[in-house]
Amino acid sequence: MPDREARISGELYIGLMSGTSVDGIDAALVDFEPSRPKLLGHCYQPWPQAIRDRLKKLSQPGDNEIEQLGHADIAVANHFADVVSELLRQTGIKPWQTRAIGSHGQTVRHRPGADHPFTLQIGDPNQLAEKTGITVVADFRRRDMAAGGEGAPLAPAFHAAFLRSSVEYRVILNLGGIANITLLPADPKTGIIGFDTGPANTLMDAWIHYSQQHRFDAHGAWAARGQVISELLDRLLDDNYFKRPPPKSTGPELFNLDWLNQYLVNQSNYRPEDIQASLCALSSHSIIQAINQYAPDCERVICCGGGTRNPVLMQQLQQGLDATVETTAEHGIDPDQIEAMAFAWLARQTLQHLPGNLPDVTGAHHPVILGGIYQAWTNDSEKVDPAC
């Protein structure tokens, strides 16, 4: 349990993140009083399979979408509130001691390339503020999109604030459902760019679920049993997304089983585990290709996200990059919590009237203050600390 000074610092924020893999919710309690953010506690809750299936279904066009969306919006908010309550219970923090929740929400559609670009994250912040008694900052991505950006990725601003080095060129690599990179040159006068390179885990997760009904390939064991199909890998890497220059962002709306099936010529001749090995190679090759093209002088690649637990993927990255490959754990930040911490920081930026996007990353015309603020109502009598 954190000490009393930390509990009343006034700089405590909670970040909530559920990514494109739709595995579960990460919640992080962060103290920003020190010079570097300090993680005071974290909590993870997997999505129930029924809700996970509903959320996956909503990422693609379908029937009765508005009704389905309305139900999912409330269900996601309720689960977010449950995770926050558990996090507070574990850490001994009262709701009123926390400045705000930064809620990424759950992305169900991301269409930056549409005629009328849009992005949609659900998890009703009104419900979340009401159930937790904590002010909520949410809907971060649409303000960047309104300013001409892609609405993603947003974590690079956090990476730049806390992981940039003045002595070496670093790349921060997030291995979530989608892989994205943040390029951090040592020279502070050099601009920062970042973008989604393509799939990290989303295709591997989808394929193993289709083939074996598992949520993910634990430790990359299934991919390790397969052999990369060179002709398939070449076809996959020839997709136009990998050729597009940044800024760019993507999601499971593009990289899904329908996308994969269009490249599975002579699928009956492929062993399922060989397809999995090829999908792992697709992730590593597309990441390596992007880093070598846009950050050839990179000295260190610092990884975060669930893909860091896949030793096959991590080994391929180390073998293919002329740089040290490690995780954010080497820099004092849990690889599984960095994105939740980033949205805690983005909430803080919003409440301090500071921008949270990097225009060179998202393509926005200018920096903007992100998100909407959903103010909590609390009874002043609840703000009596019995320790006082």
Q: Tens digit of pLDDT for each residue in 167-202?
A: 999 999 999 999 999 999 999 899 999 999 999 999
- What is the phi-psi region of residue 358: left when phi exceeds 0, alpha when psi lies from -120 to 50, beta otherwise? beta
Q: What is the pLDDT of residue 276?
A: 98
Instruction: Tell me what percent of the residues of the chain surpass a pLDDT of 70.
Output: 95
pLDDT at residue 7 above 90? no
**What is the mean predicted confidence (pLDDT) over 241-269?**
91
| List of domains in the chain | 4-151+337-383 (3.30.420.40), 155-331 (3.30.420.40)
Other C-beta atoms lying within 10 Å of the C-beta of residue 262: 10
Q: Which residue has the higher pLDDT, 267 or 57?
A: 57
pLDDT at residue 60 above 90? no
pLDDT at residue 3 above 60? no
166 vs 19: CA distance, rounded Å: 31
pTM of the model: 0.88
pLDDT at residue 6 above 60? no
Query: Rounded mean pLDDT of the chain?
Result: 93
Q: What is the pLDDT of residue 379?
A: 59
Q: What is the pLDDT of residue 5?
A: 46
Q: What is the pLDDT of residue 224?
A: 97
3-state secondary structure the chain: CCCHHHHCCCCEEEEEEECCCCCEEEEEEEECCCCCCEEEEEEEEECCHHHHHHHHHHCCCCCCHHHHHHHHHHHHHHHHHHHHHHHHHHHCCCHHHCCEEEEEEEEEEEECCCCCCEEEEECCHHHHHHHHCCCEEECCHHHHHHCCCCCCCCHHHHHHHHHCCCCCCEEEEEECCEEEEEEECCCCCCCCEEEEEEECCHHHHHHHHHHHCCCCCHHHHHHHHCCCCHHHHHHHHCCHHHHCCCCCCCCCCCCCHHHHHCCCCCHHHCCHHHHHHHHHHHHHHHHHHHHHHHCCCCCEEEEECHHHHCHHHHHHHHHHCCCEEEEHHHHCCCCCCHHHHHHHHHHHHHHCCCCCCCHHHHCCCCCCCCCEEECCCCCHHHHCCCCC
pLDDT at residue 1 above 70? no
Q: Across 10-24, 34-48, 225-239, which has the greatest mean pLDDT?
A: 225-239
Lowest mean pLDDT among 118-132, 226-240, 370-384: 370-384
Instruction: Label residue 369 by pLDDT band (50, 70, 90).
Output: very high
Q: Tens digit of pLDDT for each residue in 279-310?
A: 999 999 999 999 999 999 999 999 999 999 99
Instruction: Label residue 61 by pLDDT band (50, 70, 90).
Output: confident
Lowest mean pLDDT among 10-19, 235-244, 274-283, 308-317: 10-19
**What is the mean predicted confidence (pLDDT) over 336-357?**
96
**What is the mean predicted confidence (pLDDT) over 334-343?**
94
pLDDT at residue 387 above 70? no
Q: Tens digit of pLDDT for each residue in 198-251?
A: 999 999 999 999 999 998 999 999 999 999 999 999 999 999 999 999 999 999
